[in-house]
Amino acid sequence: MPVTTPSRTSKAAEEMPASELQGLVKTAEAETKRTTAAEGLLPLKEKAADADDPETATDERGSVTPARPRKARRDASDAAAAAAAGRHISSLGDDILLEIFLRLPSLATLVRAAYTCRLWRRAVASSPAFRRRFRALHPPPLLGFFVNSQNVPSFPVFVPTRPRDLDLAAAVRGGDFFLTSLQGRPEEPICWEIIDCRGGNILLLNSADKMLALLNPLTRQRERILNPVPQGVYHDFVYNDVGSIFCSDEDPMSFLVAFLAFDESRSRIQAAVFASGTRPLLRRTFKLYRLYLPGMPPVYCVGPLVAGSSGEAREKHEQPDRSVVFLCLGSVGADNHSRDRVKEIAAGLEKSGHRFLWVVRASPPEDEPENKPFDPRADPDLDALLPDGFLERTTGRGFVVKMWATHCGWNSVLEGIMAGVPMICWPLYAEQKMNKVFVVEEFGIGVGVDGWQQGLVRAEEVETKVRLVMESEEGVRLRARMMEHREAAAMATKDGGSSQVAFSRSLSDAGNLSVDASLVT
């Protein structure tokens, strides 16, 4: 046994992927479509080609050359005679043909058989049931092992099992098991380690620059580089080699890669999910996590958890629907409400001309020593904070709340979704950056403000984004997507909705749990 220990050095046996079959199928399906279209146009010609009796006979005679061995000549002339009589193995129906194909000894023989002619290819391509049966009867053969190297620079080493089977040997020769395409990348340091292997795909992590690479050595398909570090996210997280590939049996081109990162205490986990096709949802992330990583603590998706509406937004209700910009920049971060920020926001709001409701908190005193704890409940001095004359000029359309508010971060996002209002995102710290990625890039229900990474968003940018959301076509689209999410959130919290169900399950499971269950809101 070459590799039995579960150590880090002995990962990822590489198998001949069943998905190859679908690669073939994919091509063939495209082919089928083309042929079908042609049939519509040229029924007679197509039909003649299908029947192909006279042609067969002629061509066969032509193709029998004196150089051919006796046996082959006999076979061919037999076949020609049969073809002339219209009773020919090439004219078997799909059902029977597929029964024959099921008895082929390997995937490689099936691939060759399928490419013998278009009808045969179409037969294989058009039957998912056949492909499932074939896979079940032909478990993927073992081509060899990848071994992660301990040295630096590190690069996985492939150890072939040196199969006797000619087809398998050819497979090893034909593939890129030295991962040369990856080695040739100047962008990344040579610190690659295989962290998962499935369906012929391998997933590698670059320990130096935190990149993932997904590739298929057998098909020499170019690697895809996946970056689990969207700007600002994950920076304080420790990486672990917890990543998984999920691939579809039916569509080899589609994949899902899940990658988990932990903070140092392992109390928080971040998950990145990459999908080849449709955009993944957060909910899905955790479902995968729960289903496929049984060693991890359970996760219950009990969200959205939002407190009932308070009376604080009365001012909003006296305004026309969908006309008020609501601003709040969090509760506890001392730096959230610096004077510069307040000034820029004020100017932006004023210029946008839209109605607003703005939660302003006291700024940390600039002249006091740093070590004095910031008191978020201190009474803000509005006259000092806001530009001269701001309150007067915006009377009637602006309302500044002098209070400590409990919004921002994930709570605000959830409240925004439950209320169905598109968001302008200005992440400040902690997980807010990740939330911004979800809101803007994943859900498509908000826009980010430029400049947040530099710490200060200019008044013009505030005005631009307020106008974009309130006035533009894009704003309408944001609102429409937001309504979908609002409905989904409302469904989740109804009786029998996912939130209710997950919460009851967490309660009923609680008896069996000792530590580490986390509730995802």
For residue 108, state whether it binds other proteins (rule: CB under 8 A).
Answer: yes
d(CA 211, CA 192): 9
> Three-state SS for 450?
coil
The phi, psi pair for 296, rounded to 5°, reads -85, 160
- Shortest distance (Å) from residue 416 CB to other proteins: 49
For residue 256, state whether it binds other proteins (rule: CB under 8 A).
Answer: no
Kindly tell me which residue out of 109, 181, 240, 276 binds other proteins, with binding defined by CB under 8 A.
Answer: 109
Kindly tell me which residue out of 3, 13, 32, 115 binds other proteins, with binding defined by CB under 8 A.
Answer: 115
Site residues (CB under 8 A) for other proteins, limited to 69-88: 72, 75-76, 78-83, 85, 87-88
Nearest to 382 by CA among 399, 397, 406: 399
Kindly tell me which residue out of 140, 175, 199, 422 binds other proteins, with binding defined by CB under 8 A.
Answer: 175
Nearest to 222 by CA among 251, 201, 192, 199: 201
- Shortest distance (Å) from residue 144 CB to other proteins: 13
| CA 101 vs CA 94, 112, 314, 413: distances in Å | 10, 11, 72, 55
Q: Are 20 and 219 in contact (CB under 8 A)?
A: yes
For residue 493, state whether it binds other proteins (rule: CB under 8 A).
Answer: no
For residue 63, state whether it binds other proteins (rule: CB under 8 A).
Answer: yes
- Shortest distance (Å) from residue 458 CB to other proteins: 53
Q: Are 202 and 146 in contact (CB under 8 A)?
A: yes
For residue 103, state whether it binds other proteins (rule: CB under 8 A).
Answer: yes
Task: List the x/- string, 176-215, binding to other proteins by CB under 8 A.
Answer: ----------------------------------------
Cβ contacts of residue 382 below 8 Å, gap of 6+? Answer: 360, 391, 400, 402
Pairing, β 142-147 against β 13-15:
antiparallel
Residue corresponding to tokens 């040295």: 151
For residue 104, state whether it binds other proteins (rule: CB under 8 A).
Answer: yes
Cβ contacts of residue 508 below 8 Å, gap of 6+? Answer: none
Task: List the x/- string, 40-59, binding to other proteins by CB under 8 A.
Answer: ------------x--xx-xx
- Shortest distance (Å) from residue 200 CB to other proteins: 11
Q: Name which of 109 and 338 has its Cβ closer to other proteins.
A: 109
Q: Name which of 94 and 335 has its Cβ closer to other proteins.
A: 94
> Three-state SS for 284?
helix
Size of residue set near other proteins by CB under 8 A: 57
Using a 10 angstrom Cβ sphere, with 0-12 exposed, 13-18 middle and 19 or more buried, the burial of residue 63 is: exposed
The phi, psi pair for 517, rounded to 5°, reads -75, 140
Kindly tell me which residue out of 9, 37, 38, 95 binds other proteins, with binding defined by CB under 8 A.
Answer: 95
* Secondary structure string (H, E, C) spanning 129-176: HHHHHHHHHCCCCEEEEEECCCCCCECCEEEECCCCCHHHHHHHHHCC
> Three-state SS for 344?
helix
- Shortest distance (Å) from residue 61 CB to other proteins: 11
Site residues (CB under 8 A) for other proteins, limited to 149-168: 166-167
Residues at the site binding other proteins, with contacts judged by CB under 8 A? 20, 23-24, 27, 31, 52, 55-56, 58-60, 62-63, 72, 75-76, 78-83, 85, 87-90, 92, 95-96, 99-105, 107-109, 111-113, 115-118, 166-167, 170-175, 218-219
